[in-house]
Structure 1
Amino acid sequence: MTTVVDEHLALVRDVAPQTPQGCRECLLAGTPWVHLRLCLTCGHVGCCDSSPMRHARRHAFNDGHPIVRSLEPGENWRWCYAHQAFV
């Protein structure tokens, strides 16, 4: 796994998941998800790119919060949507 130095790391905060039970938008719409991603700027929980709705990606670009981490048990990686790279 390659990591990069990323200027977006300045946006990372100590956040708690806003909806720890699942993807916020999927919960509202009743749609399924595959894996969850936590926005490290605001705590938004969105579904991954393998999910039908890809809410984490949409949030990253719409809200300008590009760095997420996996919210899956046992996973501890971060991803920058803007650079398409692990950080």
Structure 2
Amino acid sequence: MTVGYDPHLSLVRQVSPRTPDGCEECLRLGMGWVHLRLCLTCGHVGCCDSSPGQHARAHAAAVAHPIVRSFQPGEDWRWCYAHEAFV
């Protein structure tokens, strides 16, 4: 895993998950998800690219919040959707 500097890291804030029990959109739509991602700018919880809705990526594109971290227990990594890279 390559981790490097990303200019989008300036968008990272201290956040609390807006929906700690699952993907915001999937919960509203009654859909399932595979894994969860936490937006590090606003606290949106969305599902991963392996999930049918890919809501984390859609959120990043819609509101220009590209940095997420895994919201899975035991995982501690961050990803930038804009650069398609670990940060």
Query: Which category of TM-score, normalised to the shorter sequence, fits these structures?
Result: over 0.9
Q: Percent identity?
A: 71
Tell me which residue corresponds to 1:17: 17
In the TM superposition, residue 65 of structure 1 has moved relative to its aligned partner by: 0.1
RMSD of aligned alpha carbons: 0.3
What TM-score results when the alignment is normalised by the length of structure 1?
0.99
Structure 1 runs not aligned, ≥5 long: none
Deviations 1:35-63 (A, max 9, x none): 00000000000000000000000000100
Partner of 1:4: 4
SS at match of 1:61: helix
What are structure 2's unaligned runs of at least 5 residues? none
Partner of 1:78: 78
What residue in structure 1 maps to residue 63 of structure 2? 63
Task: Return the offset for 1:4.
Answer: 1.8
Runs ≥4 residues deviating over 3 A: none
TM-score by length of 2: 0.99
- Aligned pair count reads 87
